[in-house]
Every structure is written in C-alpha cells, then in structure tokens.
Amino acid sequence: MHEQAIIQSVIESIRKDLDCRGLKGKVKSVSLKVGALELHGVESFKQIFAMSTAGTCLEGAVLELQVIPAIIKCNCGHQGPAGDGLDHHSDMPIAECPRCGTVCRVEGGRGVEGIDLQVEEIPVK
C-alpha cells in the first residue's frame, strides 16, 4: 500500500530528527502537508498512521493533515484543482479541463511538503 510507505518514511524521518536534536519525549501532534495524489482517503491515511505508530514515541499523536491539491494548467488559460477521479498510480496523471474539455496534464499533488511536531519533553533527572 502506497500510503503505508509514505507513513513509514515520515515516522522514520521524525524519529531521526528527534534523535539528532537529543529530544526524548512523547509526540503529541504531527502536522503533515501531503499531496492529494498520495492519498486514497484522509480517514484511511489517519488509520494507517495510528496503526503504524503503535509502540513508538508517536503512539497516540494527533495527526493534522493538510492535503495539497493537484492542479490542472490548460492552454486555454484555466488553472485550478484537478478534482477527483485521478489515477493515483500514474506517473503522468491527466484530467479534462472544465472550461474547454481539453485533456491536460496534472501537476503537483505529490509528496510530503512539511512535517511539524509538538513534543512533550520528558524532564531529565
């Protein structure tokens, strides 16, 4: 599952970042900016995140998800969200322009653009 691979990569990145900064504690919340073409659904992404973080410092963290839309840029001048029904697995997704009906290449909507954390640090004794 594609979402699982993204989540595992995010978890590993967070754990490495916490280790590099010498932070020990529980992650209270994770804010992600994720491309629309990386998701099959927000709720399923959140469920996979919850299952994947069990037993880690991220267990129980609230996941705040901002979805970055895929964009149509048509030769007719129309530019806007690509909408639903795109093939998430395609390297070059296409969509019909709502203004002129031309089939256009879809841009953006891929990857993870940002990860922000709120960590409850454990005091050192």
Domain map (residue ranges) of the chain: 1-68+110-125, 70-108
Q: What is the pLDDT along the chain (125 residues), one digit of tens a residue?
A: 578 888 999 888 888 888 777 767 778 999 999 998 888 889 989 999 999 999 888 889 999 999 999 999 999 999 998 877 777 667 788 888 999 999 998 988 888 888 888 887 665 55
Q: 52, 61 in Cβ contact below 8 A?
A: no
SS3 16: helix
Q: What is the pLDDT of residue 88?
A: 67
Q: What is the pLDDT of residue 50?
A: 94
Amino acid present at 66 = Q
Amino acid present at 10 = V
Q: What is the pLDDT of residue 99?
A: 92
Closest CA relative to residue 91, chosen from 5, 11, 2: 2
Match domain 1-68+110-125 to its CATH number in 3.20.20.70, 3.50.50.60, 1.10.645.10, 3.30.2320.50. 3.30.2320.50
